[in-house]
Structure 1
Amino acid sequence: MCSEQIVQSNGVELCLETFGDRVDPAILLIAGAGSCLLSWDEEFCRRLADAGRFVIRYDNRDSGRSTSYEVGSPPYSLNDVVSDAVGLLDALAIDRAHAVGVSGGGAVTQLLALDHPDRVDTITLASTTPGGPGHEALDLPPMSSALAEAFSGEEPQQDWSDRTGVVESLVAFERLFAAQTVEFDAAASAEFWGRVFDRTVDIAAQMTNPFLIDAGEPWRARLGDIATPTLVLHGTEDPLFPYEHGLTLAKEIPRASFVAMKQTGHENPPRRVWDVVVPALLEHTSRRSS
């Protein structure tokens, strides 16, 4: 069964859904900045749950149905988002979980392993970079020229109350991050962003505030201290954090394993790689941190 609930965590309300049996090993899915729990496809969650995992997907603060703040003035830092994840586990009476983070959620997951190693049995880092977004990695390839050009232009004014206009903008935004060797499914993207719009407390806050928060002190130099079993998943066509970011992340974390997501851009694992990613996650989460 799938259930949705609001829990108190670290002074905020977080909305979550669970899949599977609570007695099974817990997998905590952590979405990226600007994303909500829907970014973890329901069927993806069910595949993991059907294989004997208790799967949790949730809205970070300023996304979905969780606590939201005034646009442009988020009164919290990345470390608060990390503490939110710990508080969520406390609210569910879960001592340890397998944390899986994508993009900005991968930054949160790195910090969980560094600062709260007693709460994670394993970590999985998908579509992210050593040290996390917001910290320059000058030794690694930059974002694609197309993304750089898009980000360098003047941002158009968005009427966040206009569902049609918002969905169209978010589909165009998602297209920039997609793999180039497969056809982009604009209809599926529009359906997804429509669902996101319809359940989100403040879509403007979701698409603005998480990108403004303080990421704190750089931690790339600390990656060698991670003792938690680590799996790195990375798209071969990631335009934001090119493939070398994933390879380097796996190299800088002791004994980390690496799985390439072919024909994948900067995104949650798409359906076309589930037959590779799901078995890799199940094998990885069968381990326990020593």
Structure 2
Amino acid sequence: MDLIRHLRFFVSVADEGHFGRAATALDMTQPPLSQGLRRLEQHLGVDLIHRTRQGAVLTSAGRQLLPRARLLVDDAERLLAEAHRIANAHGAVHWGATAALPDRVVTACVGALRTAVAADAAVSTTVATSVDLVADVRSGLCDVAVIEHPALVDGVEVRPVVKVPRWLVVPSDHRSAGAERPTFPMLGGLSFACPPRAANPPAFDTVVDLLRERGLDAPTVPAPDDRTVFAAVAAGTSFGLTTMRPSSTPGVTWLRIAPQAVALRVRVVHRPGTDAYADAVDRVLYRERLR
């Protein structure tokens, strides 16, 4: 049995308190997760989780073993990260970006990092959720990353928050598209196409709360990137937010509503000793900030 993999199942279920959410966080389906946890319990000879209708509850043994399990999982990630760095120890820079960051900023960051490192150094880019990027920086898989704010950033170095312009996009035939002064309540009846909450719970909750404060309580549908946002909007059923500047896109109209409020808030996170890389990326974000 792959002990570390099964311990990761246990830690995820304990953190989420729910098998379905844990499976989503691990990018797998629920049945193999549940089966894997049972195999771990059989291997250890103790029950770790009580399965209830409300969710997953730690047993007494589970509460006692969770800290040790977490240490083993974290140590395994650090080992992999260290091995990865050794295998690529030729001045390579590993950095990451949230999918919400516009392409023009991603490529500008790559260029800035190439300038900040040795001439023969490689720059590798990972596009992932803010939750995963923070974990990658914390474990050493990434040297620096741009994540959405707010986010849980314990265990990493952080830089100030920067606002990047963001627009609302709506179906071209929606009443708000032709309004002289569009408002949030006009979007009632449309769903909000946005990244799933698991990608970054604090940022997700902040945007949903903002919409409610402005008089719009819209159901959400998962859309992890601009492509899926635009597809949902063009279908006439959703609105969304994008950092892509207005362009001629069939079925989609850009709206400028409350630009300061809906701006994308991002920040640089990095591991200790990588200040030069963080400075390079931070300068790019500063140039792109909301004016």
- TM-score between both structures, scaled by the size of structure 2: 0.30
